[in-house]
Amino acid sequence: MIFFRLTFMHKRLFLKLYLLLIFLSGCSSSAPLNSERIAQRYGSYGIEILFAGDQQRISNLYSEANGRKTMRTLALVEFTAADAPEIANEHGQVLGGGSIGAVFKDAGWTIDKGASRYCLSKTDRESLPELERMGIPHPAALATRIYVFHVRKGTVSIDYATITEIYHPDYVQADANLDDC
């Protein structure tokens, strides 16, 4: 009986440690950035700012082959802390066309993407004409990730933006079991 009880307690402990490790690995800033994953998978990476305003930005994260750019991610960004003085320099670089993750990583910030919502964006040419850059037939159901882009440095902690990433199906395949966005 004591052996069973210890085994059960050990299983619970190992389960708790395992879940803690999974949670911490999801919060790690060592995970490759979207820009790094695109470059690694396709051999190139570029960013084209399609719209930039004080509170929003729309970007084409693309790969290039044979002179042709293919959108791999459409990034819809809503800045939630654009006026925070601690990140004024980084925000200026982002507005100037810098890749959000790379700008903050290069400036020594720890990046946390927190909890993500994965869903399907059902698209057509009229609702999101920017997706034409993907070169895929429409309508389409595309994998989408929505998350808060959080940065930390020392005692400063900022929820910088809410980001929606809509992925090219060759880059991230949609799971048919996902809910609609």
Residue 46 lies in a domain: yes
Instruction: Indicate if 40 and 24 belong to the same structural domain.
Output: no
Number of structural domains the chain divides into:
2
Instruction: Indicate if 23 and 83 belong to the same structural domain.
Output: no
Instruction: Indicate if 25 and 62 belong to the same structural domain.
Output: no
pLDDT the model gives residue 28: 41
The CATH number for 73's domain is 3.40.1410.10
Among residues 159, 177, 79, which one has the least CA distance to residue 114? 159
Residue 181 lies in a domain: no
Residue 90 to residue 161: CA distance in whole angstroms: 13
Q: What is the number of residues in the chain?
A: 181
Residue 180 lies in a domain: no
pTM attached to this predicted model: 0.79
90 vs 1, 61, 80, 84, CA distance in Å? Answer: 60, 19, 14, 10
CB 85 within 8 A of CB 63: no
Residue 116 to residue 98: CA distance in whole angstroms: 23
Residue 173 lies in a domain: no
SS3 content of the chain, % helix, strand, coil (to 5): 35, 35, 30
pLDDT the model gives residue 138: 83
Instruction: Indicate if 148 and 84 belong to the same structural domain.
Output: yes
Query: Residues near 63 by Cβ (< 8 Å), separated by ≥ 6?
Result: 38, 39, 41, 42, 43, 44, 45, 46, 69, 70, 72
pLDDT the model gives residue 68: 95
DSSP string, 52-69: E-SSEEEEEEEEEETTEE
Range of the domain at 8: 1-30
pLDDT the model gives residue 123: 87
CA angle 123, 141, 113 (to 5 degrees): 95
Residuewise pLDDT in 10s, the chain (181 residues)? 444 444 443 334 333 333 333 333 344 446 788 999 999 999 999 999 999 998 999 999 999 999 999 999 999 999 999 899 999 999 999 999 999 999 999 999 999 998 899 999 998 878 888 999 999 998 899 999 999 999 999 999 999 999 999 999 999 998 888 899 8
